[in-house]
Structure formats: C-alpha cells, structure tokens
Amino acid sequence: MRVTTRTIADKKQQHEKITMLTAYDYTFARLLDEAEIDMLLVGDSLSNVIQGNDTTLPVTLDEMIYHTKAVVKGARNYSMVVCDLPFMSYQTSEKDGFRNAGRVMKETGAGAVKLEGGERVCGTVKLMTDNGIPVCGHLGLTPQSINQFGTYRTRGTTPDEADRIKQDALALQDAGVFAIVLEKIPAALAAEVTKMLKVATIGIGAGNGCDGQVLVLHDMLGLNEEFHPRFVRKYLRLAEEVRGAFKKYGEDVRSGGFPSKEESY
C-alpha cells in the first residue's frame, strides 16, 4: 500500500516512527521504495548535492519538476514523493505559490509539496491545502533564508526564537499542513513541538523526540565527504568505495585486463 498523508497521520497517532530520505533520481528512488522509506523528499538540497551550488537558492522550479518526475517513476509501490518548492517559487505572492505547487502536482505525480517558513507563508499554505494540495512545512533552520541569517547555526536556542518556532508550528497546523520538518533545533524544543501538534514532525538535527527523521541521501551514504555535522550518521563510506572502483577500472583498462574473453562477444 502506498504511503499517503493518511498513513503519516496514522503513524503519528500510533507512535510509529516515520522515515524520510531525500532522492533526486530514478535509480535511488527505486532502491528507497524497495526499502520502504515512507517519504522521498526531492529536496532543494538538489542545488547543493546534484548541481554543486553553495546554497539552495539557484535551483529552479523547472529543475525541481524534472527531478521529481524521475523520482516518482522510481517510487513504484510504496513511498510518497514530496517535492520542495524552490526559492522564489512561492515567496512572491500567494497566487504564485499556489500556481507553482499546482504545476508540481500536475506535471510530476508527487504526493505533496514542501515549503519553508511559518506564519508568513500560512496564507499560501491554506490556499494549497483548501484546494487538494498536501503541504509539508519546514521550520528551524530554513536554508532558503541563509542570506538573511548569514549562518547555518542551530535555531531556537533563545526563548524568543523558541516561542517563534512554537507559534509558527501551530499556525502551519491551522493552515492544514500534514507534517512539519524541524531542522537543527534543540532536541527538547523539537520534542515539545512534537507533543504540542496533532500533525507529524520530521526532524533533521532535532533529536529523537520527533515523529520521524529525514537525512540528505548523499550525506548518509557518505558521498559528501566535506560535510560533517553531528546530526548526520554515515551508514556507508560510499565515496571511498566509488573512488576505489573508478581507480580499479582505470587500471584494468590501461593494463588490458578489461574486458576479458568472457566479457566479450
């Protein structure tokens, strides 16, 4: 049975943890779907890990749609696909955000969209949720605002910031989101927000008290060797293995060891 927003709500109610990882292409989406990861997030981290940009700002809506289509094809049986709305695709007006979220749903087959921000974006979120577009919120560290904050430090560490996050979470819930990503906030605050809400929270660098967890695929596979925040658990050291395979291939071709007779026609 495919995961839907209903499944996410049921899992929250039954205290069953929710799994989410990012995905950007068909091949990994197939593997993630086979592993029964609940949600595949086509994150705007695509800008960093696929396109090589320093921030998430440059990726366009057309590029997000292109990758989301591939991920939807790979998520054959189980996972629900969530597409990030990129910078400036929903900040310009409620109408623009609504139209662009509609494009994502219509052109990709994704099950939901995600956007960053709290009360500020609630009008846009409500327009979407009132019209059949499931929305996932995103609070705490919101990378699309990096130029405003100037740093990727932990958010919600002062009473004012913590109160803001709690208010924003309640406002997003009222606007109809089915889940909220909480990024890089203290574990105690994330646990408090999780208890406060009827909708699911998905943490990244937000401790174990959230309803679910998300990581960037390239980080957890150990493909991104330059990024070592404490919240990333590396399940593989894939960069090392891939580099080794490439070296061996080069040696084999150069020495004439590849292809062998058995590998030829």
Using alpha carbons, select from 217, 254, 215 the residue that is nearest to residue 239. Answer: 217
| Contact residue for ligand KIV among 22, 124, 173, 224 (CB under 6 A) | 22
Residue 42 structure tokens: 């086509």
For residues 209 and 187, the answer to whether their CB atoms sit within 8 Å is yes
Which two structure tokens, joined as six digits, stand for 154?
């932990």
Q: Nearest residue by C-beta to ligand KIV?
A: 43
Residue 50, both tokens: 């696929």
Residue 173 to residue 179: CA distance in whole angstroms: 8
Q: Among 183, 225, 240, 263, which one carries the catalytic annotation?
A: 183
Token couple for 159: 């009473």
| String marking each residue 162-181 x if it binds ligand KIV according to CB under 6 A | -------------------x
**Distance between the two ends of the chain, CA-based, in angstroms?**
43
Site for ligand KIV in 186-225 (CB under 6 A): 204, 214, 216
CB of 214 to ligand KIV, least distance (A): 5
Q: How far is the CB of 181 from ligand KIV (least distance, A)?
A: 5
- Binding to ligand KIV, residues 84-103 (CB under 6 A): 84
Shortest Cβ 20–ligand KIV spacing (Å): 8
In angstroms, give the least distance from the CB of 217 to ligand KIV: 9
Q: CA-CA distance, 229 to 250, in Å (whole number)?
A: 33
Residues 40-79 that bind ligand KIV (CB under 6 A): 41, 43-45
Is 183 known to be catalytic?
A: yes
Q: For strand 80-84 and strand 112-114, is the pairing parallel, antiparallel, or unpaired?
A: parallel
Among residues 53 and 131, whose Cβ is nearest to ligand KIV?
53
Q: Judged by CB under 6 A, which stretch of 11-19, 39-47, 122-130, 226-234 contacts ligand KIV?
A: 39-47
CB closer to ligand KIV out of 81 and 257: 81
User: Among residues 193, 199, 208, 171, which one has the least CA distance to residue 13?
Assistant: 199
User: Considering beta carbons, is residue 38 or 183 the nearer one to ligand KIV?
Assistant: 183
Q: Please give the Cα distance from 247 to 255 (Å, whole number).
A: 12
3-state SS, residue 19: strand
Element of type H or E holding 182: strand 179-183
Taking contact as CB under 6 A, which single stretch among the options 5-13, 36-44, 92-100, 185-193 is the one that binds ligand KIV?
36-44
Catalytic residues: 183
Residues binding ligand KIV (CB under 6 A): 22, 41, 43-45, 84, 181, 183, 204, 214, 216
